[in-house]
Structure 1
Amino acid sequence: MSFQAYLDNIEDKTGFTPRELLAQASAKGLDQPSTKAGEIVDWLKADHDLGRGHAMALVHILTKGPTISEKHVGTDGVHRDESVDLWLDGKATKPAQA
């Protein structure tokens, strides 16, 4: 599954866009450099019933921002992403890929 597909699945499961979940994390003080990944994972499990894999996708965005490595961009296979820039504002508003 691509990184973007993880984010889209998170939206399906929780009803919140990734950006909305990031705002929730910020409101809880979980966007601090000292915050451990486990704290974020525990919150996402308790409040949104997300598993570790999906939670770690949000941990990545909280700690590293919405840009991913070029490793899988443009490659073949199930982990292929269209861009290094992740869309955080929901599937309904995602621009079509060229």
Structure 2
Amino acid sequence: MSFQAYLDTVEKNTGKVPQEIVDEARDRGFGADTKSGEIVTWLADDYELGRGHAMALVHVIKNGVQISDKHVGATGVHRDESGVLRLDGIAKRGESVR
């Protein structure tokens, strides 16, 4: 599953676009120096997210929307179309949230 697919699934499961969760994390004081486990625990407790989906958000909270070019345009299940993740929601890309 690609980074973007993980974030899209988070949106489908929580009803919140990823940016809303990132903003909430920042309001809680989470950022680049926060331990990943602390963020994962919060996401599991508040949103019932599993580790993989939580770790996609951890990346964004700690590092921003840029991802490694390693998987961009590559083949396989972890490939992304872009090196920049979209946090503004599925509907903004013209797709439906199911």
TM-score by length of 2: 0.90
The size of the alignment, in residue pairs, is 95
| Distance (Å, rounded) in 2 between the aligned partners of 1:94 and 1:85 | 14
Is 1:4 the counterpart of 2:7 in the alignment? Answer: no
User: What is the aligned partner in structure 2 of residue 55 from structure 1?
Assistant: 54
Q: Is the Cα contact below 8 Å between 2:33 and 2:62 reproduced in 1? A: no
| Distance (Å, rounded) in 2 between the aligned partners of 1:35 and 1:71 | 25
Q: What is the letter of the counterpart of residue 72 of structure 2?
A: V
| Distance (Å, rounded) in 1 between the aligned partners of 2:34 and 2:85 | 22
> What runs of 5+ residues in structure 1 fail to find an aligned partner?
none
User: What is the aligned partner in structure 2 of residue 42 from structure 1?
Assistant: 41
What's the offset of the Cα at 1:27? Answer: 1.3
> What runs of 5+ residues in structure 2 fail to find an aligned partner?
none
What's the offset of the Cα at 1:34? Answer: 3.0
Identity %: 57
- 1:19-98 map, 5 Å: 19-31=19-31, 33-94=32-93
| Distance (Å, rounded) in 2 between the aligned partners of 1:84 and 1:94 | 16
Aligned-pair Cα RMSD in Å: 1.4
| Distance (Å, rounded) in 1 between the aligned partners of 2:94 and 2:86 | 9
Q: Deviations over 1:11-38 (max 9, x none)?
A: 001111110000111111122x431111
Give SS of 1:8's match: helix
Segment of structure 1 superposing worse, 81-90 or 68-77: 68-77
| Distance (Å, rounded) in 1 between the aligned partners of 2:21 and 2:67 | 18
Give SS of 1:71's match: coil
